[in-house]
Amino acid sequence: MAETKKKYLFNRGVESDHKAEMSFIDHLEALRWHIVRSGLVWLAAAIVLFINVDWIFDHIIFAPAESNFITYTGLCNISHYLKLGDALCMPPVNIQLQGNTISGPFMSAISIAMVGGLIVAFPYLFWELWLFIKPALSPKELKYSRGSIFWISICFFTGALFGYFLLAPFTFNFLANFNLGTKGAYKYMPTLDDYIDTLNDIILGCGLSFELPIIAYVLTKIGLISADFLKKYRKYAFVIILIVAAIITPSPDWTSQIIVAVPLLLLYEISVFIAKKVDKDNIKKEKEWS
């Protein structure tokens, strides 16, 4: 065990000497190429999406605002299967989008392509970030970070799908069927860019929020938090989660906020479990080194 520890320290020292040879300019040069490659992949994905933007808008972007969206029909079928009548069936959605600028449709197409390209290229973008920070990690840290790109991507896409298939339909259904006053003085006609921005906020917000277990794992590994810390401040975390749910959810509908808050609370409990496992591993490693 002592021999292994000496070998580890020797390897760490060699790596440190090699890193010391890189000047600040060298680091900037390396970072520049990582950014360039990331930008090119993002741009390539955005161009492909822009070429097919009409199909994407009809079948993906505008789909949650249509009454035959899979979430609406699925919930209604489940309600009938459970013999609950129309309890889970939501009112039909009828949204007519309008534009008040000449460049509106074109700029909306650009927005769809850029945000969609960011989502599609997310694993590669994180991989480039990983390549940049990888030389600064020790062999032990590299060992613990195996599979990080896979799990971070899984969490992000799971959150994005959750926002798209569950939160977005509830949000648009509530907003489209909300009436102000009883005389019909207000006619609901949202703008195209407002609809797209709302959908983007929901998808990206949920995607990033679902990274909570990964963040907990990393912070526990580097010793900034622990399972006891997460348990101690659980009640404060729950309040913060409710606030985050209210921010992510564009509508004031309490149903939509609960739909966001419940998974986030579950993710927090998963984070506590992960932190507990990491704490045990850290204690075990400390005993082996002692």
Q: What is the mean pLDDT of residues 237-262?
A: 75
Smallest CA-to-CA distance from 112 within 36, 54, 157 is with 54
Distance CA 266, CA 225 (A): 18
C-beta separation of 249 from 171 below 8 A? yes
Q: Do 200 and 185 share a domain, yes or no?
A: yes
Q: Do 42 and 159 share a domain, yes or no?
A: no
3-state secondary structure of 94: strand
Q: Do 267 and 161 share a domain, yes or no?
A: yes
Residue 5 within a domain = no
Task: Provide the number of structural domains found in the chain.
Answer: 2
Distance CA 229, CA 183 (A): 54
Q: Give the model confidence (pLDDT) of 194-223 as tens digits.
A: 899 989 988 998 898 899 888 888 888 777
Domain region containing 33: 23-62+97-136
C-beta separation of 137 from 145 below 8 A? yes
Residue 189 within a domain = yes
Determine the pLDDT at residue 108: 92
Q: What is the mean pLDDT of residues 258-275?
A: 86
Structure tokens at 125: 């973008």
Q: 114: how many CB neighbours lie within 10 A of its CB? A: 17
Q: 42: how many CB neighbours lie within 10 A of its CB? A: 18
pLDDT at 2 over 60: no
Q: Give the model confidence (pLDDT) of 17-56 as tens digits.
A: 444 456 767 778 888 888 999 999 999 999 999 999 999 9
More confident residue, 73 or 1: 73
Q: Do 144 and 57 share a domain, yes or no?
A: no
Distance CA 65, CA 252 (A): 18
Q: How confident is the model at residue 289 (pLDDT cuts 50, 70, 90)?
A: low
**Domain end among 136, 164, 188:** 136
At which residue do the structure tokens 């401040």 appear?
233
HSE-up (13 A, CA, CB side) for residue 130: 16
Q: 41: how many CB neighbours lie within 10 A of its CB? A: 17
Residue 18 within a domain = no
Give bridge partners of residue 94 from the DSSP assignment. 66
More confident residue, 253 or 106: 106
Q: What is the mean pLDDT of residues 7-22?
A: 45
Q: Which of 83-87, 162-166, 191-195, 197-201 has the lowest mean pLDDT?
A: 83-87
3-state secondary structure of 135: helix
Q: Do 152 and 131 share a domain, yes or no?
A: no
Distance CA 242, CA 16 (A): 44
